Each structure stands twice: as structure tokens, then as C-alpha cells.
Structure 1
Amino acid sequence: MSNLSAAARFANVFGRARRAAIGMIHVEALPGSPKHRLPVSAIVEKAVNEAKIYKECGLHGLLIENMHDVPYLNSEVGPEVVACMTAVCQRVKQESKMPCGIQILAGANSAALAVAKAAQMDFIRAEGFVFAHVADEGIISSCAGELMRYRKIIEGEDIMVFTDVKKKHSSHALTSDVNITETAQAAEMFLSDGVIITGSTTGLPASNEDVSTVLKSVNIPVLLGSGVTPANVLSYPSQLHGMIIGSYFKKNGCWQNDVDRERVSEFMNKIER
């Protein structure tokens, strides 16, 4: 692993230390999932086309996710998901030449690391890194110990692991006596390369107070993970390292829809100004 700090590694990968805009590619439903319809070749091409839009509009990175694979499995996915996500990620990385990450829902973090290693991705987004919580899929147990050892085993220490804290679509009653700053500090102690703060559900913004307090509490990058729009993006602290944007970039602001070039361009024009 590099001797650089997590913040310095972030800046090296994204070419900037602050407000890196990361666009979501929601891969169409994969083989084996109830909504699967398209051949794998068409799934790959659609992802590549969305990556081209993001690159042409000036985004700083991409995050590829199997969000159409509802209902999600809990922490373990089949080899068909790993194989198909590898095919998608390899092409997107090769065609875009952008910083790229992957998330495999739900909480399939070791599988995501394996794909990232094979496809030469730059980061993964991991759920359930520290402290258990109850999600739609059931109890998501903490995985930091196993995940970071697996990263070491596969010689993937150049792959950054960004971790959700008090994540969306989850109940945190099990850890109601542990606040978000304490959770973020635990993630940092357990070698997270950055923490992600979200609203309560997809498309809802994170609390500005949560973002501010976490920024003051950890020395690793802090990213927004939901609900970012042109209307609120400049209200967040300038020290914020990154923003993962999905719903706003889609037609009518709905994550299930295709990427809307006009929305992406409008957003990037605003933050670049």
C-alpha cells in the first residue's frame, strides 16, 4: 500500500482534492435476477454509452452498481453476477479511461473487490463496513476485518475502499447509542479510505450537520452518497471531497431512467463555476 494519506490518494486518483463529481451507472438487471431482460452484450454497451456522456460532460469519476437486480441478495451473490459485472467494468474502464469504482448490492463487498482487481478499478463502495445494521435484505454484519484481509490477499491495496456510515434504506436502532461521527471514526480506525454520508433513502439529501461534524472528526475523505442536486450542492461545506450522483442525472430525476445529458451538463456547469 502507498505511504500516502487517504486524502492524498483520493486527490491522485480523481485529479482533485475537493468536490469530485462521481456519476452513477446503474447496470441493467443481470442474469439470474427477476428483472433480467437484455443480453449481456447490450447491458455492457448501455453502460459504456452512459460513461461516454459522463466523460463528455466533465465528470471526475464513475461508480458502477447492479441496482436493477432487485430484490437484492444479502452479502453473497452468484458467479454470474461477478462475471457480468467484470465484463461491464472492464469495458467501461477501457473506454472511459476515468477513475472507476464498483458496488455490488447488497453488501457483496468481497465480490466487488474481486471485480475491481480483475477490471483494474480504482475503488469500491462498501456497505456494512463497521457496526451491524438492519437493511431491506436483513441484518448486514460488519465486514472490515474480512474485507481488508481479502484486499491484502489479492494484492489489491491500490483499490480504495469507501464505506457507508449510517447508510440509507436501513434501520440503525441496533447502534442508536453510536452516533455518525463515532461510526465514521471507527471506519477510519479500521482502515477505510473514505466515508460516505447519505440521506435516509435513494435521492434524499444527506444532513448538512452530519457532513460538517464528520468532516471535523476524521482525517480521511468524506463523500456525499445521495440526494445531490444543483439546488443544494453549494450548501455543503467546501471541504467535502466527493459527491456520488445518481438520481439527479437520470431523466426526470428518477434513478430507474436513462442518463440525461442535459441534467449532467447543467450540474457540472454549476459546480465548475
Structure 2
Amino acid sequence: IGGSRIPVFADIRKKHAAHMLTGDLSIGEIAAGMELHLADAIVVTGSSTGVSPDVETLKAVRQATGLPLIVGSGITADNVGLFYDHADGFIVGSSLKENGVWHGPVSEEKANQLMTAVVQLRAAHEVVFQKN
């Protein structure tokens, strides 16, 4: 495809997948393994589409690796603040769709609500960082 440097985001304990091959490893061990395999970022999802991971899982991944941490499911305007301090980015899909249907059209209202929440979080963090 002509790409000389294509970033690899490793989705660990991927939703909709069986975990029998990695069931004996902690989430931190899996994340550390992806760093050894030269992943560029770690993606953590909830148990299914639209379900967010728990914050304790994100903390365990953060402690195990220095790679960027991406929350890959369950982010909404109502909960993005819970995850903002624990993640370097978000993959947002079904929460922005009309009626939450992943293959449906994007709701402009939901997208605007999420981005309004993110802009407010960014502004609040800038104030905190400027005071330090």
C-alpha cells in the first residue's frame, strides 16, 4: 500500500472475541506484551459494542506500559469526563449514531454534545496546567 510507517493500535481483550488464549494473563501483562511486539498504542474496549471499559482496567494498562492508551468503546458525552484523565484518545462509534445503531447515520446532535464536553474538559485541564 506504499506506507513505510503505519501505526499499529493493539486492541487487547478485543470485544466480541474469545479470550481462551490469553485467559491466564492479566490485562497489564497483555499490554506489556504488546509493547514488546512494537505496538504504537493500546486500545481497551468494554465487553461489547457501546460498553465502556472500567477505569480500573485502564489504570492497570497505564501502569504496565508507557504506550498511548485509547478507549475503544462506550464513550458518550455523559461519561467522557470519567475517562479523560486515564486515556490519550478515544474511538467513538455507536454512541454517536441515531438510536445507537452502529450501522446507522451519525447524529449531529450527539456528535456536538460529545465535542462540547471534550472542549470543556480540555479548557478545564488547561487552567489546571497553567496554575502549576
Report the TM-score range of the alignment, normalised by the length of the smaller protein. 0.7 to 0.9
1:249 and 1:259 in contact (8 A); partners too: yes
Structure 2, unaligned runs of 5 or more: 121-132
Runs of 4+ in 1 over 3 A off after TM superposition: none
| Percent identical | 35
CA apart distance, 1:238? 0.8
Residue matched to 2:123: none
Matched, 1:209 2:56: yes
1:170 and 1:200 in contact (8 A); partners too: no
Alignment of 1:185-264 (within 5 A): 185-236=32-83, 238-264=85-111
CA apart distance, 1:224? 0.5
Could you report, residue by residue, the CA deviation over 1:60-112 in whole angstroms, capped at 9, with x for unpaired residues?
Answer: xxxxxxxxxxxxxxxxxxxxxxxxxxxxxxxxxxxxxxxxxxxxxxxxxxxxx
Residue matched to 2:11: 164
Alignment of 1:11-90 (within 5 A): none
d(CA) in 1 for partners of 2:96, 2:84: 22
AA matched with 2:98: K
Residue matched to 1:272: 119
Between the two proteins, the alignment pairs up a number of residues equal to 120
d(CA) in 2 for partners of 1:225, 1:217: 18
d(CA) in 2 for partners of 1:236, 1:264: 17
AA matched with 1:156: S
Residue matched to 1:175: 22
AA matched with 2:69: V
TM score, norm. by length of structure 2: 0.85
2:98 and 2:106 in contact (8 A); partners too: yes
Which has the higher Rg, Structure 1 or Structure 2?
Answer: 1
CA apart distance, 1:203? 1.1
SS, match of residue 170 in structure 1: coil
CA apart distance, 1:215? 1.1
TM score, norm. by length of structure 1: 0.42
d(CA) in 2 for partners of 1:264, 1:204: 18
User: If each structure's strand is expressed as a fraction of its own residues, which one has the higher value?
Assistant: 1
SS, match of residue 171 in structure 1: coil
Q: CA RMSD in A?
A: 1.3
Residue matched to 2:128: none
d(CA) in 2 for partners of 1:163, 1:156: 18
d(CA) in 2 for partners of 1:164, 1:156: 22
AA matched with 1:174: L
AA matched with 1:244: I
d(CA) in 2 for partners of 1:188, 1:232: 28
d(CA) in 2 for partners of 1:192, 1:205: 22
AA matched with 2:47: S
2:44 and 2:71 in contact (8 A); partners too: yes
